[in-house]
Structure 1
């Protein structure tokens, strides 16, 4: 199977009656396994809702979402929590690290929560890959913002997930640090065969992806392969985002 995630006619409506707001409108898309997909659009275009529905964090009002061969609709919250814990990695703008835990313990926390024994060799390998092999015993307060985001990426990778979802993962970082983090995400795709789906508002961040999906008013209105920052910014201007 070459698709990691498939959305089929997914709509998401918040509220009822006259106050109802359609965040997604019949979105159908396949996200390829081993690919890096960026999702862009103006504020309020449905980017976060798209990510939350694709990752099983939110339930569509209609349509279906499949992770690999697994249909998510109809799953109860317990099953969805289990699926997210075992098969999906998350990297958010906020690093969400536990201050009292070491880097290593923060990274292996999802395994502990799932009642799974951490593979020490794999944990060490993941820490080495994110450039924190010598920081395993440090606490978050002893790290820079960029290093903390690397811990978050290591934590997302340690369960060997089918997909890593990033929600503005470089939003809180300076330009140089963001570049390091994006290079790291790119390497996980190229070297580990990881699938990455990233919501971003930054054309430079989007240029690290294989494909950019453009959302407007809850619909996918365009896509771009082999994106450049300039081409992405120009397309966003035509969506009314950077006027």
Structure 2
């Protein structure tokens, strides 16, 4: 299976001199296409920096990041912005919906910003997949938290991205609603062949993934296939995350 995202010897250092902080240290890892990968680690382990560098939101201090067959190094900010808009989807803990727009308008916003024609058949498929039929004329304030996050997932899918990156996408949701959203992410991987990379602190969320990457002190220190809630929680405890 080829890689949707590839990091080679990626380091990220914030600050200079004695005040410099290494958030990532020589990380080399491939994220398989068509899989669901969770990224976990203690606070300060580099999870968010890993996601930001992998998604082209932040530039590594050294090393190489590839999105599919595209090398991100050397791209100016305009080209990076276009690349993210065309080939990357994002789902955040805060739903980041525009309150004055309807569900349908929020979902299609990336296409409108890019000046891209809406593929009506694909839009209908995405709306059906996230179970928002009959809600497309509503505004975010008329929806539950789980429904708002499903709008955000639909918005991330509508451009047919190479990868959907999730940054604690269930962090603001209760457990039942979180399970619903995680089931949906699992379905878009299995049913649509989508690649999902999700940063989370929650072993339950990680248990929905195919693979878990564990970070500590800016390095990938372990990987786990076929994770369960208990196996992830045990590994996190041994990382010192919950001591």
CA distance in 2, matches of 1:242, 1:203: 12
CA distance in 2, matches of 1:122, 1:103: 16
* CA apart distance, 1:242: 1.3
Aligned to 2:204: 204
CA distance in 2, matches of 1:85, 1:111: 8
Aligned to 2:111: 111
CA distance in 2, matches of 1:206, 1:85: 26
Aligned to 2:32: 32
* CA apart distance, 1:121: 2.0
* CA apart distance, 1:206: 0.2
Aligned to 1:74: 74
Unaligned stretches of 5+ residues in structure 1: none
User: Within 5 Å, which residues of 2 pair with 1:4-83?
Assistant: 4-83=4-83
Alignment coverage as a number of residue pairs: 243
Aligned to 1:130: 130
CA distance in 1, matches of 2:115, 2:127: 21
* CA apart distance, 1:119: 1.4
Unaligned stretches of 5+ residues in structure 2: none
Aligned to 1:98: 98
What is the CA deviation profile of residues 166-215 of structure 1, one whole-angstrom value per residue up to 9, with x for unaligned ones?
A: 00000000000000000000000000000000000000000000000000
Aligned to 2:222: 222
SS of residue matched to 1:78? helix
TM-score if structure 1 supplies the norm length? 0.99
CA distance in 1, matches of 2:93, 2:79: 26
* CA apart distance, 1:122: 1.4
What is the CA deviation profile of residues 74-95 of structure 1, one whole-angstrom value per residue up to 9, with x for unaligned ones?
A: 1000000000000000000000
CA distance in 1, matches of 2:7, 2:121: 35
CA distance in 1, matches of 2:167, 2:139: 24
CA distance in 2, matches of 1:70, 1:153: 24
CA distance in 1, matches of 2:212, 2:32: 12
CA distance in 2, matches of 1:133, 1:4: 30
Aligned to 1:121: 121
CA distance in 2, matches of 1:33, 1:126: 20
Aligned to 1:157: 157
SS of residue matched to 2:183? helix
CA distance in 1, matches of 2:16, 2:89: 32
Backbone CA RMSD of aligned residues: 0.6
TM-score if structure 2 supplies the norm length? 0.99
User: Within 5 Å, which residues of 2 pair with 1:139-150?
Assistant: 139-150=139-150
